[in-house]
């Protein structure tokens, strides 16, 4: 428990700069520690963060540069037709991960950044409109959508997505009081909307001993069987981070 709290508090170091009113940000941190699966918690978090004025991407753990070497070659290897690959960032918050994929992917991508918090989605949308960037591939597109990612099937066709990225979202859910079941639902939904040999990449600080077991269990409960593997991303402020890759294979075999 102590280890979990110290990791959560590491992720909150940036947050501590958000509010000058100590009681207020302590209450926000408490809310985050207990209720990271709740829309209201994140609306509050992104509202507080935006009060500083000029928009700045907030990154859980690390940003796009730390993970681009996992994502860009994977996309390149999937790009077998000129049609854009559909990429989804689940629980995008105000991270620059989705926009980074859109900007730097050499193959055409349709990137959807999705979050349950309308505040985060509005901030991202406004920022993209006020500071447009040119994608590497002119056929690439970028969208921001308010969405509960436990219900992906209501938004995407089965087997339609090539890549789903999750930076910190599953971690947030599994560490909140009522979030564990939601995290499982998200994995199940990802396995349904991912195309065969597409991938879900979870960037996480959870140890492989715990996460691999949990993921393998979730995959067994799914109609689509999946391969699960893990790579070490590296260390940041004394914490080791991992990339868990989940690749469905059953349906088209």
- Residues at the contact surface with ligand SAM, assessed by CB under 6 A: 37, 42, 58-60, 90-93, 95, 114-117, 120, 147-150, 167-169, 172, 182
**How far is the C-alpha of 81 from the C-alpha of 118, rounded, in Å?**
34
Q: Where are the alpha helices (DSSP H) in the chain?
A: 2-11, 22-34, 39-50, 64-78, 97-104, 118-130, 169-174, 180-193, 208-220
Min dist. Cβ of residue 44 to ligand SAM (A): 10
Judged by CB, which is closer to ligand SAM: 184, or 198? 184
Beta strand segments in 125-178, E: 141-146, 161-167
Judged by CB, which is closer to ligand SAM: 145, or 159? 145
Judged by CB, which is closer to ligand SAM: 120, or 226? 120
Could you say which DSSP state residue 160 is in? -
Judged by CB, which is closer to ligand SAM: 84, or 91? 91
Judged by CB, which is closer to ligand SAM: 19, or 49? 49
Specify whether the CB–CB gap between 91 and 198 falls below 8 A: no
Min dist. Cβ of residue 34 to ligand SAM (A): 14
Please state, as a whole number, how many other Cβ atoms lie within 10 Å of the Cβ of residue 197.
14
Contacts of 237 (CB under 8 A, 6+ apart): 10, 13
Min dist. Cβ of residue 33 to ligand SAM (A): 12
Min dist. Cβ of residue 162 to ligand SAM (A): 19
Query: What is the number of the residue whose Cβ is closest to ligand SAM?
Result: 91
Min dist. Cβ of residue 12 to ligand SAM (A): 10
């Amino acid at each position: 428990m102590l280890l979990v709290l110290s990791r959560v508090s590491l992720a909150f170091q940036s947050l501590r700069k958000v509010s000058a009113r100590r009681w207020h940000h302590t209450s926000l941190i408490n809310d985050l520690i207990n209720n990271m699966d709740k829309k209201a918690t994140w609306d509050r978090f992104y509202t507080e963060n935006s009060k500083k004025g000029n928009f700045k991407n907030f990154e859980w753990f690390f940003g796009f540069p730390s993970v681009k070497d996992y994502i860009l070659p994977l996309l390149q290897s999937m790009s077998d037709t000129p049609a854009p690959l559909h990429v989804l960032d689940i629980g995008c918050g105000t991270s620059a991960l989705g926009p980074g994929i859109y900007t730097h992917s050499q193959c055409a991508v349709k990137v959807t950044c999705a979050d349950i918090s309308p505040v985060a989605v509005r901030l991202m949308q406004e920022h993209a409109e006020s500071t447009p960037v040119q994608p590497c591939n002119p056929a690439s597109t970028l969208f921001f959508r308010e969405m509960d990612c436990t219900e992906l099937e209501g938004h995407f066709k089965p087997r339609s997505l090539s890549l789903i990225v999750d930076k910190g979202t599953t971690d947030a859910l599994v560490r909140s009081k009522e979030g564990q079941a939601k995290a499982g639902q998200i994995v199940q939904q990802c396995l349904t909307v991912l195309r065969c040999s597409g991938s879900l990449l979870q960037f996480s600080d959870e140890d492989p001993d715990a996460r691999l077991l949990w993921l393998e269990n979730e995959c067994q409960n799914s109609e689509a069987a999946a391969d699960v593997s893990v790579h070490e991303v590296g260390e940041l402020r004394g914490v080791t981070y991992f990339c868990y890759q989940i690749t469905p294979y059953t349906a088209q075999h």
